[in-house]
Chains A and B, each alone.
Chain A
Amino acid sequence: MPECVKTMSQAEREIHLMTAQQQTTQTQVVNRAKELLADGTVARVLGWKAGELPYAPQPAYFEKEEDLEEFVYNGFCGANLSKYMIEASKLDGKTLVCLKPCDTYSFRQLMKEHRVDREKAYIIGVGCKGKLDIEKIKAQGIKGIQSIQGAERTDDADTLTIQTLYGERTCAYADVMLERCHVCKGKEHMIFDELIGESRDTKDRDRFAQVKEIEAMTPGERFAFFQKELSRCIRCNACRNVCPACSCRKCVFDSSQFDSAQKANADPFEEKMFHIIRAFHVAGRCTDCGECSRVCPQGIPLHLFNRKFIKDINEFYGEYQAGADLEPRGPLTSYVFEDVEPGIVAERG
């Protein structure tokens, strides 16, 4: 038994004792990564490793073959590793990065913006059967979690079995998936060097349904809706820092010369201003990866701002998916005579 397995906590061991199906994807990635490290193709591996708790794997670099014993890939690996590739592109040698289908949109968009170096990446496109949202599990009243079985979907296991300090609980995988998986863009990887693992279609909702509901509100209701949601914002900047489209070297909100602080809302307007500026800045570049909403500690549905922009772009300029192509110009950075006039915003009310 490798040393690291012996020293693992109970929670970590649970992740190791996984279903045969999961062993396949995870083990395949590990085996391939070991080969690529050994033959010098890559200098490091960027993936996920077992965290302190069964539902919290951690984005991690692995530089030695033996370190890969800690590598995990399961339903809780929601983190989009594309953004880490901005820094990894500056390191010597290639980085093997594991990207889920939706993560590849972000990577491609970053390529388009010249923020990552394709030559520095060896992309393993990993299969995805939908990722889990621990907040949704806890919202079912499940607490004191000790271990979770079924954190990677198989054809015959569609239920999570959760051991807690207060007894065994179960919940349906589909009921506790991240919102973004219900409106999945598809399980095709936009860019990869090789593919490992199977995917499963998870889309069962209209991506724009909630945006349409908000559009149908009166301006007063709409304002009240966002006011209520954004009033919880604590300006922790997690949404910005996790966002692959937020790749400015220095954010305007981090400038001490800017009248708006990065750390607190000086007045009730500022909590809205931060998010509105951010939504405008990523408009046309946001791939709708959903990381902003996943990391928000206050459960603010931040993706709704971005999705409104995406819906508008689709309606004004034709269907467009950021990160789906490498065309140099997107709809907001090119001009053609037929483009809508800015007055459209006022006209449609």
Chain B
Amino acid sequence: MYKIAKKDLPALFRRIAAGKELYLPLENGGQVNFGVWDEGGSVSLDTLKTVKSPKDAFFPQSETLYTCRRDGKNLSVDPEALQEQEFVLFGVKACDVRGFEILDQVFLADPVDTFYEARRAHATIVSLACHEPEETCFCNVFDIDCAAPAGDVASWSIGETLYWKPLTQKGEALTEAVKDLLAQAQEEPVESEKNSIRAIVEKLPYSHLSLEGWGGGALEEAFDSPLWEELYKPCLACGTCTFVCPTCQCYDIKDYDTGHGVQRYRCWDSCMYSDFTMMAHGNNRTSQMQRFRQRFMHKLVYFPANNDGIYSCVGCGRCVEKCPSALHIVKVIKTFAEASKSKHTGGEQP
């Protein structure tokens, strides 16, 4: 265990940024999102949740895959270069670290997504424990411990000190590069911080959310439930929930006409959008209810069915905070739980 005074963090950032690109939560116009740090960047490690998750670092909202250029009778096709530069993601919360593991299940499975793979290979993740979890958090429902985040280095923000613990080889290497800025530290303050975080987590309103009835086996019962028809109604069909989500992984591939050729790019897609998975024959989800259902079925049923029971929600609560209609995964889980309870107590006749 190491430590560094928070007043010395700029020196730490400078050191890291000298050799690698450094991503940090940066404030812009009152909102905090991960971005590349440079001198003068307004770092906000105290912000619990960035608006967007840090998944852009591996899976950007929009990225060019290759460019076709026409020059007379010649046509050239230039694929985009893969990530070659090492970079550091600093201040990632436990839920978002798990989010990367969920994206790995998708992008590192055969056939491997080389763009994603290259970025993952060149990244070092410095995670940060959640000093003060909030009412929208429910990571512990997915067995995530926000007091002891995974990553290459774990860190804890306690008073005026940042505690630092390498967890992997990559983390050891980063620690080595900044070692003269760090001091040796006792485990005790971190242990007591962990306890206080866990005590707060116990008190969070969604901490005891039950996932009973969900999972890979719930396919037909959940899909055919009449509850979707009621639940989706306030949905505005915007993509906020999908775009702030650390695990939403659907993308679309489009061509951008540059006038002299074509840039083929991929961008995040949203199951809330009317042309989601549109194919030549048309669209296989023609109503907003179907599109709405898709999002929750994917997270709570399809994904676990295909990935050894792992849910593709990490309980970060960004959708809970940002949905303009207060309609989100917690609402869905609770509505299903209520209905199932009333069914079991005879409240609803078959």
Which A residues lie at the B interface, using CB under 8 A?
3, 7, 9-11, 51-53, 56-61, 79, 139, 143-146, 165-166, 228-229, 231-232, 234-238, 240-242, 250, 254, 256, 259, 261-267, 294-295, 297-300
| Contact yes or no, A242 B233, CB < 8 A | no
| Contact yes or no, A52 B331, CB < 8 A | yes
Residues of chain A with a CB closer than 8 A to B325's CB: 58-59, 79
| Contact yes or no, B338 A166, CB < 8 A | no
Q: Does residue B200 face the partner (Cβ distance < 8 Å to A)?
A: yes
Residues of chain A with a CB closer than 8 A to B326's CB: 51-53, 56-58
Q: Which of these, B28, B328, B331, contacts A228 with CB under 8 Å? A: B28
Q: Does residue B133 face the partner (Cβ distance < 8 Å to A)?
A: yes
Given A52-B328, A144-B132, A236-B239, 10 additional A-B pairs, CB 8 A: A51-B331, A53-B135, A53-B205, A144-B134, A165-B134, A232-B29, A234-B244, A238-B324, A242-B236, A242-B324
Question: Which of B242, B324, B330, B334 counts the most A-chain CB atoms under 10 A from its CB?
Answer: B324
Residues of chain A with a CB closer than 8 A to B240's CB: 236, 238, 295, 297
Q: Which of these, B265, B268, B334, contacts A266 with CB under 8 Å? A: B265
Binds A, one of B163-171, B272-280, B291-299: B272-280
Residues of chain B with a CB closer than 8 A to A250's CB: 274
| Contact yes or no, A259 B239, CB < 8 A | no
Contacting A at CB under 8 A, from B303-323, are: 320, 322
Residues of chain A with a CB closer than 8 A to B244's CB: 234, 236, 297
| Contact yes or no, A236 B29, CB < 8 A | no
| Contact yes or no, B134 A53, CB < 8 A | no
| Contact yes or no, A254 B233, CB < 8 A | no
| Contact yes or no, B51 A165, CB < 8 A | no
Contacting A at CB under 8 A, from B249-306, are: 252, 254, 256-257, 263, 265, 267-270, 273-275, 278
| Contact yes or no, B135 A299, CB < 8 A | no
Residues of chain B with a CB closer than 8 A to A261's CB: 252, 254, 267
Residues of chain A with a CB closer than 8 A to B133's CB: 144, 165
| Contact yes or no, B62 A297, CB < 8 A | no
Q: Does residue B31 face the partner (Cβ distance < 8 Å to A)?
A: yes
Given contacts A259-B257, A264-B267, contact A146 B205 (CB under 8 A): yes
Q: Does residue B204 face the partner (Cβ distance < 8 Å to A)?
A: yes
Question: Which of B135, B237, B242 counts the most A-chain CB atoms under 10 A from its CB?
Answer: B135
Interface SS of chain A: loop
Residues of chain B with a CB closer than 8 A to A57's CB: 326
Q: Which of these, A53, A60, A264, A295, contacts B324 with CB under 8 Å? A: A295
Q: Does residue B119 face the partner (Cβ distance < 8 Å to A)?
A: no
Given contacts A237-B239, A242-B236, contact A298 B31 (CB under 8 A): yes
Residues of chain A with a CB closer than 8 A to B200's CB: 144, 165
State the Cβ distance, B329 to closest chain A Cβ, in Å.
Answer: 10
Count CB-based A-B contacts (< 8 Å): 144
CA distance A53 to B135 in the complex (A): 8
Residues of chain B with a CB closer than 8 A to A295's CB: 236, 238, 240, 324
Q: Does residue B40 face the partner (Cβ distance < 8 Å to A)?
A: no
Identity of the chain A residue whose Cβ is nearest the Cβ of B64 in the assembled complex: A266
Residues of chain A with a CB closer than 8 A to B31's CB: 232, 298-299
Closest 9 CB pairs of A and B: A264-B267, A295-B324, A56-B326, A264-B62, A238-B238, A51-B326, A241-B236, A58-B326, A236-B240
| Contact yes or no, A263 B273, CB < 8 A | yes
CA distance A281 to B29 in the complex (A): 26
Q: Does residue B42 face the partner (Cβ distance < 8 Å to A)?
A: no
Residues of chain B with a CB closer than 8 A to A58's CB: 234, 325-327, 331
Residues of chain A with a CB closer than 8 A to B265's CB: 264, 266
Question: Which of A166, A241, A256 counts the most B-chain CB atoms under 10 A from its CB?
Answer: A241
Given contacts A259-B256, A266-B265, contact A53 B28 (CB under 8 A): no
Residues of chain B with a CB closer than 8 A to A236's CB: 238-240, 242-244, 270
Q: Which of these, A53, A166, A229, A297, contacts B132 with CB under 8 Å? A: A166
CA distance A144 to B107 in the complex (A): 35
State the Cβ distance, B325 to closest chain A Cβ, in Å.
Answer: 6
Q: Does residue B105 face the partner (Cβ distance < 8 Å to A)?
A: no
Q: Which of these, B29, B204, B267, B330, contacts A52 with CB under 8 Å? A: B330
Residues of chain B with a CB closer than 8 A to A59's CB: 234, 325
22 A-B pairs in the complex with CB atoms less than 8 angstroms apart = A11-B205, A52-B320, A58-B327, A143-B132, A143-B134, A146-B135, A165-B133, A165-B200, A166-B132, A231-B28, A234-B52, A236-B270, A237-B273, A238-B239, A238-B240, A240-B238, A254-B275, A262-B273, A295-B324, A297-B244, A297-B322, A298-B51
Residues of chain A with a CB closer than 8 A to B334's CB: 52
Given contacts A53-B320, A264-B268, contact A228 B29 (CB under 8 A): yes
CA distance A200 to B235 in the complex (A): 30
Residues of chain A with a CB closer than 8 A to B203's CB: 165
| Contact yes or no, B205 A237, CB < 8 A | no
CA distance A32 to B324 in the complex (A): 28
State the Cβ distance, A9 to closest chain B Cβ, in Å.
Answer: 7
| Contact yes or no, B278 A263, CB < 8 A | no
Identity of the chain B residue whose Cβ is nearest the Cβ of A239 in the assembled complex: B238
Residues of chain B with a CB closer than 8 A to A79's CB: 324-325
Given contacts A51-B326, A228-B28, A295-B324, contact A9 B205 (CB under 8 A): yes
CA distance A94 to B56 in the complex (A): 46
Question: Which of A51, A250, A294 counts the most B-chain CB atoms under 10 A from its CB?
Answer: A51
Residues of chain B with a CB closer than 8 A to A232's CB: 28-29, 31, 33, 51
CA distance A60 to B268 in the complex (A): 30
Residues of chain B with a CB closer than 8 A to A298's CB: 31, 51
Q: Does residue B136 face the partner (Cβ distance < 8 Å to A)?
A: yes
Q: Does residue B111 face the partner (Cβ distance < 8 Å to A)?
A: no
Contacting A at CB under 8 A, from B335-349, are: 338, 347
Question: Which of B133, B242, B274 counts the most A-chain CB atoms under 10 A from its CB?
Answer: B274
Contact with A along B111-138 (1 / 0, CB 8 A): 0000000000000000000001111100
Identity of the chain B residue whose Cβ is nearest the Cβ of A251 in the assembled complex: B274
State the Cβ distance, A143 to closest chain B Cβ, in Å.
Answer: 5
Q: Does residue B61 face the partner (Cβ distance < 8 Å to A)?
A: yes
| Contact yes or no, B238 A60, CB < 8 A | no
CA distance A167 to B135 in the complex (A): 13
Residues of chain B with a CB closer than 8 A to A11's CB: 205
Q: Which of these, B28, B29, B252, contacts A263 with CB under 8 Å? A: B252
